[in-house]
Structure 1
Amino acid sequence: MQTRFSFGGDEHIFAEVDESMSLEAFFKSLFITNAVRDAKIKGVTEICPANASYQVKFDPDLIEPDDMLAELKRLDSAAEKSEPIIATRIIEIPVLYDDPWTRETLMRFRERHQDPNGTDLEYAARINNLDGIDAFIKAHSSSPWFVSMVGFVAGLPFLYQMVERKRQIQAPKYLRPRTDTPKLTVGHGGCFSCIYSVRGAGGYQMFGITPMPIYDPNQKISYLRDFMCLFKPGDIVKWKPIERPAYDEAVADVEAGRFSPTIRDVSFSLTEFNRDIDGYNRKLEGVLHGH
């Protein structure tokens, strides 16, 4: 995997780890951005990891651009030789699939969709050769997903499915973006799922909604008091399908300040994962539920 570096003016370096997204490319990007942070390189002001790339902003008065590039190339070389293991978290996210709010929204914007006669779930199930909505929900929720980057709007995670590429869910974005998406919608575009942290425009297919806030600029929600955004790159998400009564109960718990998400610390080995993907995913789920 040969990283391609380019300068952005006098104070940015962009590194493309690979042209296509893969867990290997993501891991290398995450390893290097963590190493840049840990090295406390003089002059570095911002570090931004992405799906298969990263960008570093620096003060050219404190470090020469060529010196910054040399530091990144040194870390890149170290990443090639390192064992791909990260200390991270696995987070359970409850989802009400086929909910009334995203359904109402998607019907309002049907003329912008590839299939004006069905729902986003029905369309995604069909193009992924799955036998209806229930089979699609099982395929979407049965395996964990990596948070590969956070952005677009504050707190929005991009999630990459942790299965072999041939089993990954694929779904194109809308033909034209919507002007409305409900807050906390679980969406999908290309090979990435996401959670819309706020209400607003969007073009991803809409599959459901979670009652669990992931962004709180006021930091009043108990698990968001330390930082307003829940996710960071490297987090692992496990979807938990729920029915409407459980959704309503969770919303009431959030409003009453008693909602407590299931979050566990975990060590993730890419080598062990690749050796037995389904077995490793079962092991992660065991960690999540204390088995």
Structure 2
Amino acid sequence: MKRLPPLPALHTFLITAHHCNFTRAGEHLHITQGAVSRQIAGLEDQLGFALFHRQARGLSLTEQGQALLPRIEQAFNLIDEAIEHASIRRTPLQLKAPSCLLRWLMPKLQDWQTLRPDVPVELTSSVHHGVDFRHEAFDAAVVYSPLPGPKRQGQHLFDEQLTPVCAPQLLEGSASLNSLRDLEQHTLLHPSRDQRDWALWLSAAGADVATTRKGQYFDTLDLAMSVAAQGNGVAIGDWSLVGDDVKAGRLAIPFDLKVKTGAAYYLVCPPRSEPSAPLRELMHWLVEKAAETRSG
């Protein structure tokens, strides 16, 4: 293989070609005009052809110099990209999400790490549904917007749709859950201290809201779903978040009715900052997965 010119000399050629002046190139490189001239002369000797026409009013590229310049620019751009990529690989992306989203998000991130082990993600969950990028150092976050109204900033993932869920065995046997009236025979599991979600769904279903009198309360949706999966009651949850559990047979949906609350989940990143290429790729991938959830 032919010996390649030294990288510093090629970099000096690149800077000099942009300025067409030894003095200004030296100022940019923090070396003397004479050092620039000597490096270019040495590079020309090694290549066997002139790169610049030396003229009284400055420099101009020779035909060979013009042919070489775009390829040298491309080579240095590739080096810059390689260095950036290597440094990003060592820095996990920091993602925040509400704990209620983990049943949907965790399997997706596991799939992501299988596809892109070079872009690690560290997930922080919280019972709080928002993020304050002024005081929280996250690259992105999934936030829950609880009230109907104009779409907030960020990429929409999916709308909240409430539906009862239970263990598959509750749909079988003498005490099976086949009608709204059958709910009176089961413990209703609430993902929060209020009865709002059950009350909203039962009202939309035309059922007697008084059926919520027999209930058990939890601090998180995940706990309510875990108890429901064990056959110890019927939970109310977001259809989008339990779809994987239903497909895997851990949970079942006894009724077809899904009630939109007006709330939604959004993927957001800090304002006034440009997401890195790996973060843009992760966000695009999550939005695609959310679209699959909505269509499923």
Shorter-chain TM band: under 0.3
- Structure index of larger Rg: 2
Task: Give 1 or 2: higher strand fraction.
Answer: 1
Q: TM-score, normalised by structure 2?
A: 0.25
Task: Give 1 or 2: higher helix fraction.
Answer: 2
